[in-house]
């Protein structure tokens, strides 16, 4: 006799398959990282609550993926430096000056859209992680500067490792100015290249010619 009561059996009890749970977790993690990059572009001091809200998640759900705001930043740094290294993997030119210009152009192309976040990171507690991740850039710069010094294109009165460090500091100073002055991407990129070549030993006119040539090739 049918009583109208449905007896729940084990066959009726459904559970989200582990594979779907993993996919959902990965999607949430990606949503958090995308939201963090977006929110921090506008406000580098944005709270973890603001990041969670932008990702459409609760604070508790966010903590299920990242234990802290710093952990989110560390992941963004790791991904960012990996992207930069990948972008520079095929960058080379037999002309040391063009090589440095190409490095500067590729680097700015990767950080231009996140300049506020980049400025915060290179000056903050994650500076060490950034330095390690950007070692491929240093290696490429050392190669170009060493070749340039040996052929008379660049200055040879200062050791290449010191010149590379000065180029790095110059690039960071340009990043500071780009943020402070609101420079457009083209102007900031040009300034990065010209300033780096100037530190390496070119006159500002020669540096500007190289920057113009590289820009022309890119167009």
Q: Is the pTM of this model over 0.95?
A: no
Degrees to nearest 5, angle at CA 169 with 167 and 171 = 70
Give residue 29's pLDDT band: very low, low, confident or very high (50, 70, 90).
Answer: very high
Q: What are the tens digits of pLDDT across the range 66-108?
A: 999 989 988 887 777 777 777 777 888 999 999 999 988 887 7
Q: What is the gyration radius of the CA atoms in the chain, in angstroms? A: 24
- The residue that leads in pLDDT, 51 or 21, is 51
Between the two ends of the chain, the Cα-to-Cα distance in Å is: 81
Q: What are the tens digits of pLDDT across the range 187-207?
A: 888 998 999 999 999 999 999
Q: Which two tokens stand for residue 94?
A: 């037999």
What are the DSSP calls for 111-157, one per residue? HGGGHHHHHHHHHSTTHHHHHHHTHHHHHHHHHHHHHHHHHTSS--S
Question: Do 116 and 80 contact (CB within 8 A), yes or no?
Answer: no
């Amino acid at each position: 006799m049918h009583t109208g009561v449905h007896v729940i059996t084990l066959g009726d009890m459904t559970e989200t398959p582990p594979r779907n749970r993993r996919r959902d977790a990965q999607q949430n993690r990606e949503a958090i990282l995308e939201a963090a990059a977006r929110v921090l572009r506008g406000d580098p001091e944005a709270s973890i609550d603001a990041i969670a809200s932008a990702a459409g998640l609760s604070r508790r759900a966010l903590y299920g993926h990242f234990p802290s705001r710093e952990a989110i930043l560390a992941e963004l740094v790791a991904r960012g430096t990996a992207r930069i290294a990948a972008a520079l993997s095929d960058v080379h030119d037999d002309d040391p000056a063009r090589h440095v210009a190409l490095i500067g152009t590729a680097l700015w192309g990767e950080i231009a859209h996140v300049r506020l976040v980049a400025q915060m990171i290179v000056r903050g507690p994650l500076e060490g992680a950034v330095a390690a991740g950007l070692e491929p850039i240093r290696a490429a710069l050392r190669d170009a500067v060493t070749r340039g010094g040996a052929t008379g294109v660049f200055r040879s009165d200062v050791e290449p490792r010191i010149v590379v460090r000065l180029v790095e500091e110059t690039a960071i100073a340009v990043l500071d100015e780009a943020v402070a002055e609101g420079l457009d991407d083209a102007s900031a990129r040009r300034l990065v290249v010209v300033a780096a070549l100037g530190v390496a030993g070119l006159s500002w006119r020669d540096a500007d010619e190289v920057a113009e040539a590289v820009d022309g090739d890119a167009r």
